[in-house]
Amino acid sequence: MSRNHTKDNCFNKSLLAEHKQKLIQAIKRIKHEIDECWDAERETYAQALSVELQNTFDDLEREIRSEYQNLHRFLDLEEEMDVERLTKDKEKRVKLLREREKKISEQGKDLERAIETLNSKLKEEDSPKLLNCQVNFVPPSAVNAEIQAGQFIGPLQYKIWKHMKSSLYPIATFTFDTDTAHPLLRLSPCSTSVWFEVREGTPPEPEPNNPRRFHYYYCLLGQEGFTHGRHYWEVEVGLKTAWRVGVAREDVHRGEMDSCTTANGLWTLALKGGTIQACTEPCPTLVKAAVRPTRIGVFLDCEREEVSFYNAITMTSLFSFSMGTILQPIFPFFNPCDTDEGKNTAPLTLFSPSL
């Protein structure tokens, strides 16, 4: 056997051993993956049957039923009051009509008695003395028997809607905090609209005596912060091509951040590149929406430590964040973004729902 042939055999054996070793390693890796797979399956199965999961859904169901029971009680009370008002009006009108009927009946009897008296006097010789006797029918005051439906029904649903205001969570009313606004942002005189304004020349330097002002991102906060309770507000985004709204911790960094997400105390929804994203850590989460919302509703529930976003026109849920323990005030957060070469000049505007 030649030396070359021996060499080839040694090389082939070495290559085969190497391949086998790789196969053994691949098998070990796959077995490890299988173990992880079974562990994940067992964990998921346990979660599906967990008491905690069941209790969470039970609590939510009780809360939903409680909210609807409150609304039912409100509607039942409104119905009782309206029916009682209708019943009282009916009783009043019937009473007046009965009283008028009685007066007319009494006058009718008086007239009949007068006729009887006159007939009897006709037979007497001195009957001419009664010719001056006058008995007249004087109709009692008329009773308005016409029922105006508008007094009792009318815009009933609208009336209930307005009365229901007392049963709703209070709608947060606030303005933008001008002291936190980036220098390139412009606000309306009433501080309820904000937009990015292109300016010529060197960008303004941060104010050293105002650490609350954002000086890197084009954003600002609302005037009021919250640590407890439930608060809802709406932001008009219109047809803007980019925006970002949500909430931020009071200590959120005012300059450049390594991550503008929940990791740095921001819980926000953003429109970017034509899609809506929840700014989650470590990567944004795509939010699917049947239509692009023109107004965003933000619901901050400090008790549950959650913030949720809605299409405020249809009240369709868009996304919810769990915030963790709230240890400091949470402020409304807004970013109208830059002008996008003139396509994104419209403002963000605080919208005040009214009933």
Question: Please, are residues 314 and 163 in contact by the beta-carbon 8 Å criterion?
Answer: no
Which residues of the chain form beta strands (DSSP E)?
185-187, 193-196, 220-221, 230-236, 243-249, 266-272, 275-278, 285-287, 295-301, 306-311, 316-322, 330-335, 348-351
Give the model's pLDDT for residue 148.
67
* Rounded average pLDDT per 10-residue block, the chain, 355 residues: 59 76 88 87 79 78 82 86 87 88 87 81 64 70 74 73 70 91 94 88 65 92 94 95 96 88 93 94 92 95 94 93 92 95 94 74
Cα–Cα distances in angstroms (integers) from residue 57 to residues 26, 43, 338, in the given order: 43, 19, 42
φ/ψ region of 265 (left if φ > 0, alpha if ψ in -120 to 50, else beta) reads left
Give the model's pLDDT for residue 11.
58
The pTM (predicted TM-score) of the whole model is 0.68
Give the model's pLDDT for residue 190.
95
The structure tokens 């002002």 sit at 213
Q: What DSSP string describes 181-209?
A: S-TTEEE-TTS-EEEE---SSSPPPPPTT
The structure tokens 């009927």 sit at 101
Give the model's pLDDT for residue 241.
95
Give the model's pLDDT for residue 126.
58
Give the model's pLDDT for residue 112.
85
Give the model's pLDDT for residue 59.
79
